[in-house]
Amino acid sequence: MYVMQTRPDGLATITLDRPDKHNAFTAEIILGLTHAFQQVGADPAVRAVLLAGNGPSFCAGADANWMRQQASASDAENRADAMRLSDMLATINDCPKTVICIAHGNVFGGGVGLVACADLVVARPDTQFRLSEVRLGLTPATISPFVVAKIGQSHARRYFLTAESFSAEQALAMGLAHVVSDDPQAHVDAWFANLLLGAPGAITDAKSLIRDVSDRPISFSLRAETADRIADRRASPEGREGLQAFLDKRKPTWAPK
């Protein structure tokens, strides 16, 4: 289903592990990923999370047998199942730790949703993305809040409706990926090294800040809210330690020695 391990330096890795099925979603995987991200999100030893997939593909969307079961389920069961998928995506999207994703192979449907929920994404050059739901008589409804937030309405209007595949370079251009590389681990390591230089609580707050100010008008209330947030940060133990370390010309306590 998936494999989870945490390095001594605080990088947790969650690896989808159904390679023969291109890591397609099942109900068990959805619940497993939800619990795994809840666990790493609450672990103070974890500084960031890497989400990857074993085998030829990162994630090719929903498992065919699982979809067949849902087609014959009751309305209440169907809605509950869809909500569990939404809960999983929200848990990843709102994880207090930075989520890094390596995309490769086929990334279809819900797999695109997983990528959209990550903070930092590196894609291999041969990655093929597709929001294929309409070709099955469905829509990408459950993943849509996360995908549209990442790629915007214009790209969603194209790829939600045409279900055409798009390349890693196209994903880069629309903001779904940040880097395209034959050596994704090198970028993961570089990003993680930079993350270790930031205060853990400040990074969590910065991630929440992006979500909380996005698409809001620059009103007095928003300006007051953000002023309160930086004031709280300045007075926090991390804020005081960071400033003192800067003045003392030393590394702060959270940085690698």
Over residues 139-176, the pLDDT tens digits come to 999 999 999 999 999 999 999 999 999 999 999 999 99
Position 255 in a domain: no
Q: What is the pLDDT of residue 62?
A: 84
Backbone torsion region of residue 148, taken as left when φ is above 0, otherwise alpha when ψ lies between -120 and 50, otherwise beta: alpha
Q: What is the pLDDT of residue 100?
A: 98
Smallest Cα–Cα separation from 11: which of 202, 196, 210? 196
Same domain, 183 and 212: no
Same domain, 162 and 60: yes
Q: What is the pLDDT of residue 68?
A: 72
Mean of the per-residue pLDDT values of the chain: 95
CATH of the domain at 68: 3.90.226.10
Q: What is the pLDDT of residue 132?
A: 94
- What total of structural domains would you count in the chain? 2
Position 254 in a domain: no
In this predicted structure, the answer to whether residue 74 has a pLDDT above a threshold of 90 is: no
Q: What is the pLDDT of residue 146?
A: 98
Q: What is the pLDDT of residue 107?
A: 98
- Which 8-state DSSP code applies to residue 118? -
The parent domain of residue 238 ranges over: 199-248
Q: What is the pLDDT of residue 189?
A: 98
Same domain, 62 and 17: yes
Beta-sheet strands, E only, within the chain:
2-6, 11-16, 48-53, 98-103, 106-108, 120-123, 128-130, 166-167, 179-180
Q: What is the pLDDT of residue 89?
A: 98
Smallest Cα–Cα separation from 49: which of 109, 146, 129, 121? 121
Examine the fold and report which residue of 178, 193, 208 is the final residue of a domain before the chain moves on.
193
Q: What is the pLDDT of residue 31?
A: 95
Examine the fold and report which residue of 151, 166, 193 is the final residue of a domain before the chain moves on.
193
Q: What is the pLDDT of residue 122?
A: 98
Over residues 209-252, the pLDDT tens digits come to 999 999 999 999 999 999 999 999 999 999 999 999 999 999 99
Find residue 99's DSSP bridge partners.
49
Position 257 in a domain: no
In this predicted structure, the answer to whether residue 28 has a pLDDT above a threshold of 80 is: yes
Same domain, 102 and 220: no
Position 216 in a domain: yes
Same domain, 100 and 35: yes
